[in-house]
Amino acid sequence: MKEKLAIKHVINGASEDTASRVLTITAGDNPTAVFDATGNLNAINNAFRFLAHGGRYVLVGLQKQDISFSHREFHKREATLMSSRNATRADFEHVIDSMKKGLVDPASFITHDVKFDQVATEFASWLEPANAVVKAMIHFD
């Protein structure tokens, strides 16, 4: 998957010291942009500490509970917090145009491919991080 999506770095939080690896990858600066698409409360709350000074944190995943972070630390970093839930018509037109031009290959995001009658047995496994599901394609015959 890493090679397929041309991802330079992967950090396994279960077996690596995430903070140390992030600092190594960014030469001690932390990322200038952090995105959360998981919606996981712990992931959302912990990601604030990975922002570079002047960084931007974008929340895409939905979370119903309140998030919390150190205002003092966030303010000190002069960071920006943004959220994204809905795309506009212009956003969709840009994405479609990018696909037509070959700048984005949607097939590269499909990691699992099943027939509709397999969904009931496969679905639970898609939720397991070890299976690295990005997008599962369901075929209706």
- For the stretch 58-80, pLDDT in tens is 998 888 999 999 999 999 999 99
Indicate the CATH number for domain 18-83. 3.40.50.720
Residues of the chain with CATH 3.40.50.720: 18-83
Q: Which of 74, 72, 67 is nearest to 51 (CA)?
A: 74
The DSSP element (H or E) to which 93 belongs, if any, is helix 89-100
Calculate the dihedral angle through the C-alpha atoms of 72, 57, 63, 124, rounding to the nearest 10 degrees: -130
pLDDT at residue 2 in the model: 67
What's the average pLDDT block by block, 10 residues per block, for the chain (141 residues)?
Answer: 75 89 94 91 94 94 92 94 84 91 90 91 89 89 75
Give the mean pLDDT of the chain.
Answer: 90
